[in-house]
A = this chain, B = another copy of it.
């Protein structure tokens, strides 16, 4: 039995003010190619399909299209759960219909989890849930931490587990010892967010989402697939992949990792301004990658971001690293975290983050006129 384990698609993700939808489509097209080639018995998506509970319309359309191509056109069963970024209820809409076509989407945790049987393997779906949700659902006042909650849910699953068949748990959790990065939302403050890997001992394979690196933990049977692509500069050095699992009837498995190629990579470079602007340097670079640039120059620089953008159009973050001559201490000075936006652009971004309505031409014109008035007034002072 063969399945592909992926997760953390984060459709609708905004990175440094930039929508990643085009990049995500590029990667997902490759993913569909992989599914067509490998013809797995199932595709497992371990949560965070969307980046937020109300994703932008483009993300909704992209997910609909991609899942349709996998499930209906390629006739491949899908097993998917909600992650902490998804809205369990919104994602659940329609799931009763999807089941007819072997698309098993579990948004909300229930107190009576039922495994999905696909080609001899039992998939146990544990969507992300807050400890409070589990406490309420299982009427168990002793549940306070994520560890308590996962233990309670797995305890319930184990009541009816058939140990003579391969069992795969699909979950979205922070396993202790895992390496974190900036784009994973903290599950809770103070360490109670993590769960211990031994909770999953009863399962032949645990397909996890949440941590974005496929190498976040080293465990024989408990694995992260890693996110679809890099979503923050703290992931710049991570590899990004999906896992192809071939499982025998006794639950042992072979795992292969398949790398997906982003349209533009997310990388960090460092150097002196003059050096970075020198053709002999940048001609060897993929200059349209998403870049974090650290400038090593000491003195004053005139419009470094403007000059860099001429060569590297997608600088998302610019920092200066200045060595204090007397103390030899290093200081980071952030010069431009995001490109300089006009007041109108800033408002539009704010509006889109705070509401789900479209920022129509009428609205844009109304706000533009207010901003104009204010700027004129300020100019007159």
Chain A residues in contact with chain B, CB under 8 A? 53-54, 57, 60-61, 63-64, 68, 71-72, 87, 89-90, 92-94, 96-98, 100-101, 103, 354-357
Contact = CB atoms under 8 A, between A and B. Distances in A.
Contacts of A355: 354-355
A20 to B, nearest CB: 18
Judged by DSSP, the binding face of A is helix
A108 to B, nearest CB: 9
Contact of A100 (B61, B97, B357): B97
A94 B89 contact: no
Given A53-B357, A54-B356, A356-B356, A98 B94 contact: yes
Contacts of A103: 97
A89 B98 CA distance: 18
A248 to B, nearest CB: 32
A242 B357 CA distance: 31
7 contacts: A60-B89, A61-B92, A63-B93, A64-B92, A64-B94, A71-B97, A354-B355
Given A354-B355, A357-B53, A94 B93 contact: yes
Contacts of A356: 53-54, 356
B57 A89 contact: yes
A21 to B, nearest CB: 13
A57 B97 CA distance: 19
A118 to B, nearest CB: 18
A60 B97 contact: no
B96 A72 contact: yes
A87 B57 contact: yes
Contact of A94 (B94, B354, B357): B94
Given A57-B87, A68-B96, A68-B97, 14 more contacts: A53-B356, A60-B90, A63-B93, A64-B93, A64-B96, A72-B96, A93-B94, A94-B94, A94-B97, A97-B100, A97-B101, A100-B100, A354-B354, A356-B356
Contacts of A101: 97, 100
A65 B87 CA distance: 17
A94 B92 CA distance: 11
A15 to B, nearest CB: 20
Contacts of A90: 57, 60
Pick the 5 closest A-B CB pairs, nearest first. A94-B94, A54-B356, A57-B89, A64-B93, A68-B96
A156 to B, nearest CB: 23
A93 to B, nearest CB: 5
A354 B353 CA distance: 10
Nearest to A92: B64
Contacts of A89: 57, 60-61
* Most chain B CB inside 10 Å of its own CB: which residue of A64, A68, A71: A64
A296 B72 CA distance: 65
Contacts of A354: 354-355
Contacts of A63: 93
Contacts of A68: 96-97
A72 B97 contact: yes
Given A101-B100, A354-B355, A355-B354, A93 B60 contact: yes
